[in-house]
Amino acid sequence: MNESKTRRDWEEEADTFIFEWRKATDADPTFDDVLKEANSIGEKEIKENSDNGRHYSENTPKKYAETLWGYINDILEKEKEEEMEI
């Protein structure tokens, strides 16, 4: 979403998204779910939250969703691997 966001920021946002999504739906989110949420936030708000008001081409709902999904997917995959080890 913006260049000042760290990997840890994205990981925390992904953790929160997964937690809230599971609480609301009792299911894991999909990329389409993440994209719908990003579209509901809207491009304007994403751009307003960008680094010092600078507008980067990646500050779109789709790019935001793709980035967030990457972190969400990593977390979900790690959970699956841990379950298989048990």
Mean pLDDT over 50-74 rounds to 75
Mean pLDDT over 25-47 rounds to 85
pLDDT of residue 46: 62
Mean pLDDT over 33-45 rounds to 82
Mean pLDDT over 45-63 rounds to 62
Give the span between the Cα atoms of 86 and 83, in whole angstroms: 5
Percentage of the chain lying above the pLDDT 90 cut: 51
Least confident of 27-31, 68-72, 77-81, 82-86: 82-86
pLDDT of residue 2: 46
Give the span between the Cα atoms of 55 and 70, in whole angstroms: 22
Give the span between the Cα atoms of 85 and 13, in whole angstroms: 26
The string of DSSP codes covering 32-64 is HHHHHHHHHH-HHHHHHTSGGG---TT-SHHHH
